Amino acid sequence: MNQILRLKEYFPRARRTYVMGILNVTPDSFSGDGVMGAHDFVTDAMGQAVAFQRAGADILDVGGESTRPGAQPVDALTEINRVVPVIEAIAEKLPDAVISIDTSKAEVAAAALAAGAAMVNDVWGLQQDPEIAGVVADAGCPVVLMHNASRSDTVSADGAGGKRYGAGAYGHLLEDVVRMLGEHAAHAEAVGVAPDQIILDPGIGFGKSVTQNLALLNHLDRVKDLQYPVLVGPSRKSFIGSVLGTEVNDRLDGTMAAVAIAVVRGANIVRVHDVKSIVGVVRMCDAILSAPADGGGAPAEGAG
């Protein structure tokens, strides 16, 4: 396992948004960017990893099981056989890379951490596999806890928006999401995960309607009120397709807009496919948000 990643040390005091690049080691990614169809998937994955790092990605999120609506689940061994060779290759060839493992399985998380991953990204918030919380606590690594109200029996299609999970039953969207994320964090802390190693994710696209996804982005500050770093993953998702009438590979403009709003509302990490474009968006947003009200004093003569 890599040296333990400490979020307090990784996040500097200065306001900056971090970019997590999505590296799908799957044959059935909803965005069509999975590398498992390649003859040499490790080489293809390494190519993506190198490109992401050169483009400015701060974290590489490696996943071996698609979470797209309608995807078939895979067993732990299949997932391990997909992600571990990729993580080992990245850790060897890009030793400064911060690698995240996108999994909800304890066995996969343990194997990935041993191979060189430094954090765990669990779309079920440590709730699906009762053993994974212990793996995270024992490793002392950061963990992303996502709100997930998706159900496989509610998948539907909506024109250009594509397949999506049906909306969950909410009394009040924001209150319910914030409450559940708080419960996930409390559970993690109860089993030994350090409070300053927890990241929260409101789960854009996972059991939310188009309007609910938009509301979560617009009111992300409510999640920030829980006092944990926040990750947001709107990249190429169906709510963008529904709003703009675009297919999955034509959603960069919508993704950039969603990311910009997320940054303004306080996101610490954005999880995306199009790393180069999004790095430009977040750097520009960060520069604007950090500009002082006085404009930095009087301009130099001739400046403008």
Q: How confident is the model at residue 48 (pLDDT cuts 50, 70, 90)?
A: very high
Tell me the per-residue pLDDT of 102-116, one tens digit each, with 9 for 90 and over: 999 999 999 999 999
Q: Which of 199, 189, 192 is nearest to 227 (CA)?
A: 199
Residues 6+ apart with CB under 8 A from 209: 167
**82, 237, 251, 265: which is the annotated catalytic residue?**
237
Average pLDDT, the chain: 89
Question: What pLDDT sits at residue 39?
Answer: 67
Tell me the per-residue pLDDT of 142-156, one tens digit each, with 9 for 90 and over: 999 999 987 554 544
- Asked if residues 113 and 135 have their Cβ atoms less than 8 Å apart, the reply is yes
Q: Cα(103)–Cα(126) distance, rounded to whole angstroms?
A: 10
Write the DSSP string, 267-296. -SEEEES-HHHHHHHHHHHHHHHH--TTTT
Residues β-bridged to residue 63? 24, 102
Q: Which of 254, 259, 301 is nearest to 279 (CA)?
A: 259
What is the number of residues in the chain?
304
Q: How confident is the model at residue 140 (pLDDT cuts 50, 70, 90)?
A: very high
Q: Which of 7, 58, 2 is nearest to 194 (CA)?
A: 7
Give me the amino acid identity at 58: D
Q: Is the pLDDT of residue 159 over 60?
A: no
- Asked if residues 60 and 98 have their Cβ atoms less than 8 Å apart, the reply is yes
Q: Is the pLDDT of residue 119 over 90?
A: yes
Question: What pLDDT sits at residue 153?
Answer: 47
**82, 105, 222, 271: which is the annotated catalytic residue?**
271
Phi, psi of 150 (to 5 degrees): -75, 145
Q: Is the pLDDT of residue 233 over 50?
A: yes
Q: Is the pLDDT of residue 295 over 90?
A: no
User: Residue 240, CB half-sphere, CA atoms under 13 Å: how many?
Assistant: 22
Residues 6+ apart with CB under 8 A from 186: none
Going along the chain from its start, the domains and CATH numbers come out as 15-287 (3.20.20.20)
Question: What pLDDT sits at residue 292?
Answer: 92
How would you classify the pairing of strands 143-146 and 119-122?
parallel
Q: Cα(168)–Cα(246) distance, rounded to whole angstroms?
A: 24
Task: Kindly state the average pLDDT of the residues 198-202.
Answer: 98
| 237 classed as catalytic | yes
